[in-house]
Amino acid sequence: MNSVRPPETVRAYLDQLQRALKGAPAGLISDALTDCEEHLNNEIAQNPDKDERAVLASVIDTYGTPEEIAEEYRAMEATISGPFPKSEEPSHRGGGFFSVVSDPRTYGALLYMLLSLATGIFYFTWTVVGISLTAGLSILIIGIPVALLFIASVRVISHVEGRIVEGLLGVRMPRRLPTQASDESILTRIKDAILDIRTWSSMFYLLLMLPLGVLYFVLAIVGLAFSLGLAAGSLFSLVTDHVVIHFDDVPFMDHLVHTAPGLLLLAVVGVLLFFVVLHIAKGIGWLHGKIAEVLLVRL
């Protein structure tokens, strides 16, 4: 027999649903809470002659208990195919050092690192300009709609970034924007947005993406260029007997590039470095997915 007391308010229903979904991806929990909150509020709005407790009692009979809804969401999530195999966690586990080359997460993370410079510049610029305009116009009446538009844009951009993170890094992110009550006043919406920790964490994430984007881009470009350049240059010199790699400041290394064994050794080192770069990219993808999950997912 179910000993859990039936929820009598929307907040209590959502709290029970969140507890029932404990252990599920944060993005799934966020979508489930958003869907249920919207459904419950619509039911209450359609029955103005009943109190919230009576409406919820009726909804539970037809819609389901929080535990039943949680099981439905888990089952539905298991049937949806994502960009990466569900059986594989985005971690460092695998079949060995060289297996990283066959892992699709590796290339998704590498592409994300290459794109992060452009997205980081855009996010940082938009956020700084938006904060500056909002603060500068706060003493004028026009500052209210500007603040609302900026906050709304931050939520939309954060949602788009979440879709990019899920598509390239394989981390389950929210697929729905959080709903807002249509009958709330403008001042209430601004107050709720200011008090919402996710508003500030999302802004922090957008600002953080500039230094992270620069770091990711440099690591990807330098790592790929050096490893592939070393391997390709050594093989080219070995085949054509025309040295294209020079280490003028390191006499020992410079001597290696003029010998066949040395060139072969450098080619092997270049290939190994390439695999190291792939492992670094996969690790950065896993780490950044966790950062995005913490700062962007609204529960």
| Per-residue pLDDT at 195 | 81
Residue 129 gets which letter from DSSP?
A: H
This prediction has a pTM of 0.83
**Contact present, 30 and 67 (Cβ < 8 Å):** no
Mean pLDDT of 238-242: 77
Contact residues for 69 (Cβ-Cβ < 8 A; gap 6+):
17, 20, 32, 36, 63
Domain locations in the chain?
10-79, 102-299
Q: Residue 92: pLDDT band by 50, 70, 90 thresholds? A: very low
Mean pLDDT of 193-217: 92
Q: Residue 95: pLDDT band by 50, 70, 90 thresholds? A: low
Contacts 24+ apart (CB under 8 A), 236-245: 237/263, 238/263, 238/264, 238/267
CA distances (Å), origin 153, targets 127, 164, 177, 216, 219:
9, 16, 12, 25, 30
CA distances (Å), origin 48, targets 39, 43, 252:
15, 9, 85
| Per-residue pLDDT at 241 | 73
Is residue 183's pLDDT more than 60? no
Q: Residue 123: pLDDT band by 50, 70, 90 thresholds? A: very high
Helix, coil or strand: residue 80: coil
Q: Residue 85: pLDDT band by 50, 70, 90 thresholds? A: low
Burial of 70 (0-12, 13-18, 19+ CB in 10 A): buried
C-alpha count within 13 angstroms, C-beta hemisphere, residue 88: 20
Burial of 95 (0-12, 13-18, 19+ CB in 10 A): exposed
Average pLDDT across the chain, whole number = 85
**Contact present, 169 and 289 (Cβ < 8 Å):** yes
* Out of 111-115, 139-143, 163-167, 280-284, least confident range: 139-143
Top-confidence residue, 163 or 53: 163
**Contact present, 202 and 154 (Cβ < 8 Å):** yes
| Per-residue pLDDT at 50 | 82
pLDDT of 15-69, one tens digit each? 999 999 998 898 999 999 988 988 888 888 888 888 888 888 888 888 888 898 9
Q: Residue 91: pLDDT band by 50, 70, 90 thresholds? A: very low
Most confident of 87-101, 136-150, 179-193: 136-150
Q: What is the 3-state secondary structure (H, E, C) of 223-286?
A: HHHHHHHHHHHHHHHHHHCCCCCCCCCCHHHHHHCCCHHHHHHHHHHHHHHHHHHHHHHHHHHH
How far is CA 66 from its chain centroid? 27
| Per-residue pLDDT at 137 | 85
